[in-house]
Structure 1
Amino acid sequence: MVTIDGANVKKLIVACDAGMGSSIMLATTLKKQLKNSGVTVEHSAVHEIPADADVVVTQNNLAARAREAAGEGTPVIPFQLFMGDPAVARVVEAIQNGTSIEV
């Protein structure tokens, strides 16, 4: 397990591969949810995850590739639902409240 300290997250990446637009919608939603938290939310291809990412959220089937691209120590949160996924909601809540969660 990895601990995410929500107070220290400055850059959240939504990583995708399909190019269908769903992940861009998720990134837009997360930007709105986190706009008062001082967190930058960016969309990235799974093979181009920036080195300065603090946390990455991606579809379940891309999680292994995202872990390789993000590097050791960067938490990768897999999700199933583009909107309303509990795993993503926990990360957002931790960032908003400045709390820690184990993932």
Structure 2
Amino acid sequence: MTSIDGAQIKKIVVACDAGMGSSVLLTSQLKKSLKKYAVVVEHSAVNHIPADADLVLCQQQLVTRARTTVPDKVVLGFQMFLGDPVFAKVEKAIKDGGNLGD
């Protein structure tokens, strides 16, 4: 199991497959909410996740592919692009230094 302390997260990548715009919207929303913690949020295709990502967020059905692309990184899946509980969990871990793992 891969894990990371939220206080160590400096770069989050939102990985997608279809490029329909929802993940770009999510990336923008996360940039705004995590700016105060000096966390960079980027968007990437699931097969081209940058190696310097600390945490990868993607739709639940893409988790296996993302973990294949970056096996040494924490990959968290979500069901909903807006309001999914995983986003609040990530922000809380960054703010309070909690552990995140897959």
Q: Which TM bucket (shorter chain)?
A: over 0.9
* Conserved? CA contact 2:74–2:100, under 8 Å: no
Structure 1 equivalent of residue 98 of structure 2: 99
Q: How does 1:5-44 map to 2 (within 5 A)?
A: 5-44=5-44
**1:73 is the counterpart of 2:72:** yes
Equivalent residue pairs, number: 102
1:34–1:96 contact (8 Å) kept in structure 2: no
- State the identity as a percent: 53
Question: Structure 2 CA distance, aligned partners of 1:75 and 1:35?
Answer: 20
User: Runs (4+) of structure 1 moved beyond 2 Å?
Assistant: 1-4, 96-103
Matched, 1:84 2:83: yes
TM-score, structure 2 as length reference: 0.92
Give unpaired runs (5+ residues) of structure 2: none
The alignment partner of 1:18 has SS state of coil
Q: For 1:90 and 1:2, locate their aligned partners in 2 and report how far apart those are by CA, in whole Å.
A: 16
